[in-house]
A and B are shown apart, each in its own frame.
Chain A
Amino acid sequence: MNEEENTQALSFSDYLPSIGIVGLIFSLVTFVIGLFFGYQQINSEPTGSFMSPMMFSGVVICLVSALAGLLAVWHFTREVTPYMTLGQGALIGFLTGAVIVLFSVVLSELWILIFDPEYTTKMMDAAIANIEAMEMPEANKQQMIDAVADSMAGGQSIWQQIFWGVPITGLINLVTGLIGVKVFAEKKEETF
């Protein structure tokens, strides 16, 4: 297949395997990391430090999931075509981020539904206990506790979690998708 055919004959279904496979793998990985740090938080004594296991998990999950856009583009260049445009990389990156959020939310809900219905409550208790142990003015503490309680006990539905999660995770993977195009894809010479 020549370069011209490679870029023109693509349909959405050509993108799906890369987005789906990489998205699924990364959602599983981020779900497991989140769970690992989540139970570490639940089972640890409140330290009063902001860098709690859950905070740390946020950083790790962000860094890990940001690589998904890059790898999805790599997969696409290996399996479909080595010739890609920036827009294609952006599309693959964003949708991979969306798939990660979608499946990790579903996995979390399944975990809570099947294995540990008390997970959210235990997490909230651990987070509040940690805030209470922090050295800061009482008013600030109370504000933070209220905010945590609101965000966790408010019980975001699956749709809300997806709604809030997709845009930024998608955009970060969009950027790494663009980097992926530069690193893995071959650039078409554009003439005018």
Chain B
Amino acid sequence: MLVLSLGGGLWGAEQSIGHWTGKLFENVCHQDPLRSLTVNGTPMAVNSRCFGIFSGLWMGWLAIPIIIRFSLKNLWTNWFLLLAVMLQIIDYMGNHILWENNNASRVVLGLLLGVAVAIFLSDFFQTKNNKG
């Protein structure tokens, strides 16, 4: 999903909208080129926030073996996810009114949400050894 979200630029296309990678994401993202990062000069198939979320999920998923050492049975994983969701909502609502977000801030906040989801789910991958 993360690779596909990089859009048409990865495949030599001049636009992601209309490209097959763009078609994949057109139901789930506004694909505004001004709010997207670029690959080889072509806007990605998703905006910077969605790219951040996908990157965060991927990174968080890879880090699960490390995360479970710290997050097990800790309530902070729930609060961390809630905080990440709230930050998206606050940033979305406050944008253009109280502040102007940019690609970098959207990526960072998206990344936070993606990582928070992976951390939230991490304890499923912890098995208990009751033998002996």
With a CB–CB cut-off of 8 A, which chain A residues contact B31?
58
B68 in the interface (beta carbon within 8 A) = no
A50 at the interface (CB under 8 A from B): yes
Interface of A is mostly: helix
Taken residue by residue from 59 to 101, chain B's Cβ proximity to chain A (1 for < 8 Å, 0 otherwise) reads as: 0000000000000000000000000000000000000000000
Complex CA gap A166/B28 in Å reads: 11
B34 touches A86 (CB 8 A): no
A169 sits at the interface (CB 8 A)? yes
A112 at the interface (CB under 8 A from B): no
B21-56 vs A: 1/0 string, CB under 8 Å? 011111111111111000000000000000000000
Interface status of A10 (Cβ within 8 A of chain B): no
A62 touches B17 (CB 8 A): no
For residue B88, give the distance in angstroms from its CB to the closest CB of chain A. 9
Find out whether the CB atom of A50 lies under 8 angstroms from the CB atom of B17: no
Closest to B4 in A: A168
Cross-chain contact A59 with B30 (CB below 8 angstroms): yes
A50 pairs with B33, CB closer than 8 A: yes
* B81, closest chain A residue (CB): A179
Stretch binding the partner chain, chosen from A13-21, A72-80, A118-126, A140-148: A140-148
Closest residue of chain A to B92 (Cβ to Cβ) is A59
Interface residues on B, range: 20 to 34
Task: Say which residue of B15, B27, B129 sits within 8 Å of A144 (CB atoms).
Answer: B15
Q: Of all chain A residues, which has the CB nearest B28?
A: A62
**Total residue contacts A-B, CB cutoff 8 A:** 90
- In the complex, are the beta carbons of B1 and A171 less than 8 A apart? yes
Question: Which residues of A have CB within 8 Å of B121?
Answer: 86, 178-179, 182
By the criterion CB–CB under 8 Å, are B18 and A189 in contact? no
* Contacts of A124-163 to chain B: CB distance below 8 A: 143-144, 146-148, 150-151, 156
CA distance A146 to B18 in the complex (A): 9
Given that A164-B24, A175-B57 are contacting pairs, would A147 and B15 also be in contact in the complex, using a CB cutoff of 8 Å? yes
Which of the residues A61, A147, A169 comes within 8 Å of B18, measured between beta carbons?
A147
The 21 sampled A-B contact pairs (Cβ below 8 Å) are: A50-B30, A50-B32, A50-B34, A50-B35, A58-B27, A143-B14, A147-B15, A147-B17, A147-B18, A147-B22, A151-B22, A156-B23, A164-B24, A164-B27, A165-B27, A168-B25, A178-B121, A179-B117, A191-B128, A191-B129, A192-B131
